[in-house]
Amino acid sequence: MNKTPVIIDCDPGIDDAMMLALAFSRPELDIKLVTTEAGNLSTDKTTYNALSFLTYINQNVEVARGLAHPIFRTLEVAEDVHGEGGLGNVKWAEPTLKESKRPAIMAIYETLMASDELVTIIATGPLTNIGALLLAHPEVKPKIKVISWMGGAAVGGNMSTTAEFNAYVDPHAAEIVFRSGVPIVMSGLDVTHKAYITREEMAKLRTLGTPFAEKAADMMKFYTFTQSQTPFYAPNFEEQIRVHDVCAVAAIVAPELFKGDNYYVEIELEGRYTTGTTIVDYTHKTGKKPNAKVLHSVNREGYIKLFFDACTTIGQQLLEE
Ligand code: RIB
Ligand code: CA
């Protein structure tokens, strides 16, 4: 099988954890490295959570700690959504996986430069690490096949009326990445809000009958409640659960499930109320060359199958080990 070399950059975070489960359930992905940054929580917590969750799902992969705060803005975390610990108060495993001695940017740089093949970067947090990498080492650009990012939105926001969390936390990093010329697939709220799993559908998790699925169900139960407390976060979150970050992997392993178009995207950096907004030029008014494929539709049934197949695979694998 032809494997796709992948680097995952994330801020675990409940939906980041489920994204990791999907990624590591896919044999076609050759995951070289996982890096963390501050976003949902501090880097102490996101790094611990990555080590803990990857220990639990028995993956032996390098985990490198990333930057501890956005390039300019003050860090705003989302413990109200993900819980004080960051994984919905679910205890996965005491990490046996050790944090890499390489900081994230060095690890990403060295992994990219050492690769004979183009590398796919799956990013599901603020783009702080990737933005800083591209500033420090623009020579890596030709080594990146695509950045599949969960972030932004053509319409709406969840951290402000117009800004999505990952873009809001570090808009400057996002602007560096979107200006870089590196190919981007953007899974913004436009598509992640459509890639919902209903409460009823999510209840299937517990019927999978594995310890992994049980814990994942507990984490989803926490996430459903916290999301429902912020009604403007997404319409109908009581019933429609959005595991946003899973889209960034799904867009790579099952692109046929998605529809999107190429648009010019820039990031608002100075808006009094709109900083962090991803301005998607979907009317092509700017006349500027598109710099991202912005996803806007999903085959929800196919997406749900992907999600549950991943949970089944990981759960079964752990039982057999
Ligand atoms: O807006 C949703 C995004 O912000 C997800 O990546 C979630 O984990 C948070 O980081
Ligand atoms: Ca995330």
Token pair for 241: 């659960």
Distance CA 280, CA 2 (A): 34
pLDDT at 237 over 90: no
pLDDT at 232 over 70: no
Which atom of ligand 1 lies closest to the CA of 82?
8
Residues carrying an active site annotation: 244
Ligand 1 binding pocket mutation candidate from 150, 158, 220, 241 (most atoms within 8 A of CB): 150
Cα-Cα end-to-end distance for the chain? 23
User: What is the residue with the minimal CA distance to atom 1 of ligand 1?
Assistant: 165
* 4-10: strand order across its sheet: 62-65, 29-36, 4-10, 119-123, 144-150, 184-187, 292-298, 258-263
Across residues 288-309, what is the average pLDDT? 98
Ligand 1 binding pocket mutation candidate from 11, 170, 277 (most atoms within 8 A of CB): 11
Across residues 16-31, what is the average pLDDT? 98
pLDDT at 234 over 90: no
Q: Where are the domains of the chain?
A: 4-320
Whether ligand 1 lies within 6 angstroms of the CB of 166 is answered as yes
**Which amino acid is located at 30 in the chain?**
D
Q: Which fold has domain 4-320?
A: Inosine-uridine Nucleoside N-ribohydrolase; Chain A (3.90.245)
Q: What is the pLDDT of residues 163-182, one digit of tens each?
A: 999 999 999 999 999 999 99
Across residues 269-275, what is the average pLDDT? 95
Whether ligand 1 lies within 6 angstroms of the CB of 226 is answered as no
Q: What's the half-sphere exposure (Cβ side, CA atoms, 13 Å) at 227?
A: 26
Across residues 71-88, what is the average pLDDT? 95
The pTM of the full predicted model, rounded to 2 decimals, is: 0.98
Q: Which ligand ends up closest to the CA of 278?
A: 1
